[in-house]
Structure 1
């Protein structure tokens, strides 16, 4: 038996027995529900090129490769923004992040999904859906005292079950540094960091609340310790919890997702699970159990990229376990699984390694990510910041595996699910759910170059906004402007690209096609004015 298959069997056996933790779930399989189950799996800072199925020469992602080969592979899948919080807000609401005044990564107390914007989980609760959130949240504060009006944890957004962090954690052992601080503080010699901040018990407890895991509802016996209804796992318990401190945080996200799937199945309920891996946002660790997967590559490359490679492969393995669990329970056909990243890869001035011949020699990777051959990266509205890996699986409907160049964006997801279930949205949606459902049902014909056989199948234009950058995209063209000061003509100059003939954004048409440029600017301006009305009403 191959190592990965063997480890899946071991992991499945451990999961079936329950995790040795104070808040484990005990589950039994049952007949699947009639309504479709829904799982949205989202990674963090994973670029378009951060999968083997697009040609990365050394990265190992066999589970995502299998999923892409067996499902609908979306080659023009877009995050709605080039940074995390904005995109994540769109996944749950079907509305542009700009309408919610979320245009950058959030600190508690800065912004949140407005209570007036209903999430998919809230729409599904009256239909008896079991709803759960796992992993990174980052679209609303967890504590009323620090978040104020922007207190908006997942348990206020329709999620009945949560194993959540506010923001990123280390992809290895998220508690390691704090356990060292805890031991030093208990010994009476607290650590002091380079900023002369004393890591005493007050610091440690504040950090645990802000950065690490919360559980909702509280486990039995922990209700008195709950803050705002949820239990923040204290350092005194977490430090000795082998599940939380396995050295592989992706395994925590994967196992809790599986636990919730099993519990929903035991209750014979349809479910919506929003599973948010921390990989591959920094801080990264080398996940040692996946080191041997890279024994066949140049070890100089491995040493430079080991944290990035093994963190991604660890997440990939867990996605395979989740898909295997659906098949084991006999509910895979009835389950819609969407996988995407939240934005393009980080840059941080990392040196680039180019891959000859791939995407005309444009494809490159660094030790923290790859946009493929596309221009830009995280925090940039060019393709490298927005175009991400995207796969949609629904075996009952997507019966023939295929790839598509039809553009899909994260805010298409909610209106598609609402239309599928016959739910009327309470607010206008930016996404095009109707076209996404047609795409899933293979009712949109494409020419080999990605243009449409029937022009009536063209989707609604897509608007993008984060920080100071803007973009507006149709099926064939893209308008983009950024605050980069080194652009020809200076900052905030609109650029125009043909996305069919120039997907790498190398030929700016803004001066050669002023008619199209002005038409698209007018459309963007009208959309922006409509968005501003919503912001004013918040």
Structure 2
């Protein structure tokens, strides 16, 4: 089904760069659906994100691109479900043949930049500065400027910047979220001074609240009665929320807030480990970041896929709360319509829809089902019904199912996915199974490169590497990275006050 190409009044085609809005995409790392003040978290306060939600389009049924990190990042940049892009799971590299948002926007005059976590260059393990000779660094995919890290990062990060010789890094001081927002705002100010009429596209991908956690004592203080891990976990989220406030305030000071589309989301559901429970000794299936949803990061249930999301564009979007089914897969087609670029800007096989229809008013139902395939299993959401197909094989590269691993849920009547209704609704179940099978078959074709102009893959993509064990261009700097890891370990240790 094609993406909507009839422009709504808010998203009228903008042919001149001066008429096009600034665009800022912000993404948390492992923030669960319920980890916001506006969803009533029992401990965590997020006043700045709450204010953004109160003044923007709050998407209460927004889905990540996948249940773990790299897949969602690939989906955001391409508008395609992640396995089509070669990003099977965390740490897999994005294929060089993909078409991305920054590439499309740079061609029509946007200044594009990336700040923070990347995780699309095929390297796993703790985050380290991206090298300027990395074959899959951000500028290869259209980011003209970047200050980035391979994976998650924390307090006082060591970062790599485009244009610096390989091995020349920048040591930053302070909370990681505040560091990247400060750097992004400084860059935006410089660009606006150079050319106030040039639109900008900025991506800020936080390392928060991915473990391990290192947060300021003042940010931990409100949670002093909670467990050591919870204090640091929530402390990171407090700092991230404050950085969102600084970003919004900074856009106001620069005079561009009214004409800036600011989009916040998270890359996947929150974490399942017992250390993430609010108090020591709580062992139950309701992880605080996903309550009341079932599941967590790494699962295909709502708690693993559904995440907080808000779009703020003061001059164009009236505040509202939407229950429309939306997701990371819709970001690229939405931006295309906002900017006035044709659907053909994306690869011919893509999976999202434009959300511009929500800017003016509510659409009753998504006109295109949403699918996920991950770790040998999958999920398919069509209207109110969701199919979950779990992989019973211990090998994630082999897909094996049985009747017990195939579930159907009514997300309207049962949003917590407490009871499968596959037997009660056999016709709906079989219809969704057929639809999912077609979706899965199309992914198989994409994985062979059928969607690319060549009709095949140019070259084989590398398996994910761990810089700590594999010979890569990062190996010569292992000692430097090891020293940084020691510093981080000290920051994450309990103190006398804990």
SS of corresponding position for 2:310? strand
Q: In structure 2, what is the equivalent of residue 390 of structure 1?
A: 309
Q: Residue 490 of structure 2 aligns with which residue?
A: none
The residue correspondences of 1:106-505 to structure 2 (distance < 5 A) are 106=91, 111-141=92-122, 151-169=135-153, 171-174=154-157, 212-218=158-164, 226-227=165-166, 232-234=167-169, 238=170, 241=171, 244-246=172-174, 248-266=175-193, 267-268=195-196, 269-292=198-221, 294=222, 299-301=224-226, 303-350=228-275, 352-353=277-278, 364-365=287-288, 370-399=289-318, 401-424=319-342, 425-434=345-354, 436-444=355-363, 452=364, 457-483=365-391, 493-505=405-417
> What is the CA deviation profile of residues 310-353 of structure 1, one whole-angstrom value per residue up to 9, with x for unaligned ones?
10010111111111111112211111111000000111243745
Cα deviations by residue, 1:107-136 (Å, 9 ceiling, x for unpaired): xxxx42222211100001111101000000
Tell me the alpha carbon deviations over residues 263-319 of structure 1, each in whole angstroms, 9 at most, x when there is no partner. 232222101111000000011113224244x1xx6x322645111111001011111
Note if 1:61 corresponds to 2:46: yes
Structure 2 residue aligned with 1:519: 431
Q: Distance in 1 between matches of 2:349 and 2:186?
A: 32
Change (3 A) 1:474 1:52: same
SS in 2 for 1:73: strand
Distance 2:82 2:134 in 1: 15
Q: Distance in 2 between matches of 1:165 and 1:470?
A: 30
Long gaps (5+) in structure 2: 1-16, 125-129, 395-400, 450-456, 458-498
1:362, 1:372 within 8 Å by CA — same for their partners in 2? no
8 A contact 1:112–1:150 mirrored in 2: no
8 Å CA contact 1:286, 1:307 repeated in 2? yes
Work out the CA distance in 2 between the residues paired with 1:306 and 1:60: 13
Deviations 1:59-96 (A, max 9, x none): 12111011111111111010010000000000011111
Measure the CA separation in 2 of the matches of 1:476 and 1:41.
28
SS in 1 for 2:235: helix
1:51 correspondence with 2:51: no
> How far, CA to CA, are the matches of 2:422 and 2:285 in structure 1?
23
What do you get for the CA RMSD once the two structures are aligned? 2.6
Change (3 A) 1:344 1:491: farther
Aligned-pair CA distance for 1:501: 1.1
Larger Rg: 1
Shift of 1:257: 1.6
Q: Secondary structure at the match of 2:203?
A: strand
Paired residue secondary structure (1:403): strand
Q: Deviations over 1:135-188 (max 9, x none)?
A: 000012589xx99x993110111101100001112x2234xxxxxxxxxxxxxx
Q: Is the 8 A contact 1:97 1:103 kept in 2?
A: yes
Secondary structure of 1:533's counterpart equals helix
- Name the CA distance, whole Å, in 1 between partners of 2:212 and 2:404: 32
Answer yes or no: is the 8 Å Cα contact 1:42–1:275 preserved in 2: yes
- Please list every run of 5 or more consecutive structure 1 residues that lacks an aligned counterpart in the other structure: 1-31, 175-211, 219-225, 355-360, 445-451
Q: 1:328 to 1:137 in 2, by over 3 A?
A: same
Question: Contact 1:79–1:341 at 8 Å: present in 2 too?
Answer: yes
Task: For residue 131 of structure 1, give the secondary structure of its aligned residue in structure 2.
Answer: strand
CA distance in 2, matches of 1:530, 1:485: 22
**TM-score normalized by the length of structure 2:** 0.78
